[in-house]
Amino acid sequence: MTVVLRKSWLNRVLHVVALLATMPLVPAAAAAAGTFFDDFSYADTAALKAGGWTPRDKPGHPGVPGARWGEGQLQLIDDAGQPGNRLLRLRASTDGSGAGTAQAQLCHARKYLAGTYAARLRFSDAPVSGVDGDPVIQTFYAVAPLRYDFDPEYSELDWEYLGNGGWGSEKTRLYGVSWQTVRLDPWQAHNQSHEEFGSLQGWHVLMMQVADGRVRLFVDGRQVAQHGGRNYPVAPMAIAFNLWFSPGGLLPPSSEPRVYEQDVDWVFHARDQLLSAAEVQAVVQGYRQRGLGREDTVPAAEPPLASHCDF
């Protein structure tokens, strides 16, 4: 009798496991519209590029004039806090001069607009080497190119963490910004922003819901702002991360570079669907339980748009 009961219990467990294996990773509507997920489980940057990502190597805005951008500022590393997990690491360094500054940026395809965006990132308030104090900017964003001053099709949804302050204030804070358009020189911006003051050192999940003329911003599942009106995005954007220095306020030149790092655990987008923070976390956990490090069913823009990763 005991043997029969054990076999019955085992059969039920196996049946449940089989059902879980066939369950969809995302809500049906989101799956039908298209989803993008990447947990950066690549062996190296060559595999990263093969996965559809473009490292920036072109000079120019934003950051310190004369600074370098390059693939060498990106790494794929093992996660010391979670065995078996991999992370994307962005590194930026400066000796206080333009020629001695290196910045990092990585972009995906330009095909994202309405829907839910989310990423898990590690911010830091101090450099891993060198003296502290440079205005370093750690980001997660989506952007369409600025073709000319006050381009009406320019669109950007931007998270910027300023561990050492910047933009005219020494306060540590996180910016959430929705852009309409901008002129770079002389600077004149049309946007809507929200500031979260205080240190956010460590891991956080940042999320944006974009639909029906409204952009809702979330930090660790808590809605912190809602933007809209003319600041609502109007053109397909590329998902991107970068790590750079504000051109004003660098510490004096030194012989020892100051080196900062930003880590990214995963990034997710559900096209044309609004997912809650809990739903996003459940989807990501589902991917990982099934050993899927990447999925991209978001269709390309029509016509396809190039993502040059230079802004």
Residue 23 in any domain: the answer is: no
Segment 168-181, tens digit of pLDDT: 899 999 999 999 99
**Residue 22: alpha-carbon gap to chain centroid:** 29
For residues 115 and 261, give the distance between their C-alpha atoms in angstroms, rounded to a whole number.
Answer: 29
pLDDT of residue 248: 85
Residue 284 in any domain: the answer is: yes
Q: Indicate the DSSP class of residue 97.
A: S
* CA distances in angstroms from 163 to 3, 101, 281, listed in the order given: 62, 18, 26
Residue 11 in any domain: the answer is: no
Instruction: Report how many domains make up the chain.
Output: 1
pLDDT of residue 175: 97
Specify the CATH number for the domain of residue 241. Answer: 2.60.120.200
Residue 224 in any domain: the answer is: yes
Residue 97 in any domain: the answer is: yes
Domain that holds residue 134: 29-296
Residue 205 in any domain: the answer is: yes
- Look up the pTM and report it: 0.91
Segment 62-89, tens digit of pLDDT: 999 999 999 999 999 999 989 999 999 9
Residue 6 in any domain: the answer is: no
pLDDT of residue 23: 43
Half-sphere exposure of 280 (CA within 13 A, CB side): 29
For residues 137 and 299, give the distance between their C-alpha atoms in angstroms, rounded to a whole number.
Answer: 31
CB 244 within 8 A of CB 137: yes
**51 has a pLDDT exceeding 50:** yes
Residue 177 in any domain: the answer is: yes
